[in-house]
Structures are given as C-alpha cells and as structure tokens.
Amino acid sequence: MADAVIEIRGLEFNYPDGRNALRGVDLAVHAGERVALLGANGAGKSTLLLQLVGILKPKAGSIHVCGLELSRRNVREVRRKLGLVFQIPDDQLFCTTLYDDVAFGPRNLGVPEKEVDSRVAKALRDVGLPGFEDRMAFHLSPGEKKRASIATVLSMDAECLALDEPTSMLDPRARREIGELLKSLPQTQLIVTHDLELARNVCTRAVIMDAGRVVADNGVAELLDDRELLEKHGLA
C-alpha cells in the first residue's frame, strides 16, 4: 500500500443500532486507477465512502488520502483532496445557480474570486456544461444534474474522486455519457455502483464487498466474468 492515493486499513464501523456496517476493511487505490466498488444493498459501500471524508467516524482502523491520515485536525484538507459525489444530486446542488453551486467549495477555502471564476468555467467545461453558469439545478435533466454535481468537486481541484452510484436513475444514453465523462477525467476514482456495464467499460479493477467486508479484488474483466462469484454476493 506504500504508493496508494487512498489507503484504508482495518476499518470498522457500527451504526447506533449496533449493526456492523464495516468489519476490518483493507483497501488501497493507486494513482490513476478507476476502481469499481461493487456489492449488494447493505454491503457497506456507501458507508465506506462517508468514512473517507469524515462524515462518519470509524470505530477502528485508519484512512490515508494522498498521504494524509484522516483526523479531526485535517479533515478539511482531506476533503479538498478527495471529492465525494453523492448519489442524489440534489444533496449537492442547493444554490440558486450552477455558478454558485460550483463556486461554493472554492469560496469556502478562501480562493480569490478571479480564480473562482476560472475554476467554475473549467469545471463546467470538463463535465460538458459550458455556459450553464446561470442555470438552476431544478431545470436540469437527471444526467445534467449528475454532471453538475461532479463539477462541484472538480472545482476544488480534487486529486481523487469517490462517486456513489453515478449512473443511478439515468436512461441508457445518460449512463453512457457519464461513463465517457468519468473515463475522460484524470483523477483517481473509486466508484460505488450496481451498474456492471459501467464498471466494465470505465474501470480496470473491481472490488466486491459483502456484509461489511472486502471479499474479492481483481481485474474488472476477470471478476465480472466470474458468474459464480457474482451470484454468491448478490450481483447476478
């Protein structure tokens, strides 16, 4: 794990009702990788993403992002380096215009307004929404909302992205567009998804979680071609 961009060791987490959501998770994601994180509902995938940015605090274990150990002291810096894209875009798009949504993070960091302008323009251009600065998220299509939510973390100059179900509730064309967008981005990516076609087309590596544990980690083609493995863990 020495050169990992995201490094997770022995991560454990219990919800207040006592449910064990994560049970000793070890995972490393290396620079430039796009890793699909797969598993049935309740496997612990989304819980793991929330741990990465300090929204949930682990019971045990450690998380390093770009060489920084996640702690209360440096959680702000970790969130700058790792951008979390929520499954539901409306959780990420809450301002009156897309400009303000995409500018929100850099402004909170104290980035000068001239640079904020530049970051917003570049982020919207990178996700295929140039000229959408004055649009309201309410008026966007589901696929445009997904792309806009990705722009909100790109404007932070994030070095890696953690995406929770980036193609959920999208039609086939929008799913393909999101896949092409993710392939075009240079950031290291950890992608939680039930969309096995997205995993196969976008990622080179896949990890399966089940009952809070990592149970498989392999090249995406080898893993997705293993029908018995997929059936065993609720993916087929």
Beta bridge partners of 68: 65
Look at residue 40 and tell me if it is in a domain: yes
Domain hosting residue 156, numbered range: 32-56+79-232
- In-domain check, residue 12: no
Per-residue pLDDT of the chain (236 residues; tens, 9 = 90+): 557 999 999 999 998 888 889 999 999 999 999 999 999 999 999 999 999 999 999 999 999 999 999 998 999 899 999 999 999 999 999 999 999 999 999 999 899 999 999 999 999 999 999 999 999 999 999 999 999 999 999 999 999 999 999 999 999 999 999 999 999 999 999 999 999 999 999 999 999 999 999 999 999 999 999 999 999 999 98
pLDDT at 17: 86
Count up the domains in the chain and report the number: 1
Q: With respect to residue 101, please indicate whether it lies within any of the assigned structural domains.
A: yes
pLDDT of residue 93: 95
CA 159/CA 24 separation, integer angstroms:
26
The reported pLDDT for the residue numbered 104 is 95
Residue 172, domain member (yes or no): yes
Domain contains 194: yes
| Per-residue confidence (pLDDT) for residue 105, from 0 to 100 | 93
CATH number, position 212? 3.40.50.300
Burial (Cβ within 10 Å: 0-12, 13-18, ≥19) of residue 90: exposed
Residue 65 lies in a domain: no
Domain assignment present for 159:
yes
Residue 177 placed within a domain: yes
Q: What is the pTM of this model?
A: 0.95
Element housing 77 (H / E) = helix 75-81
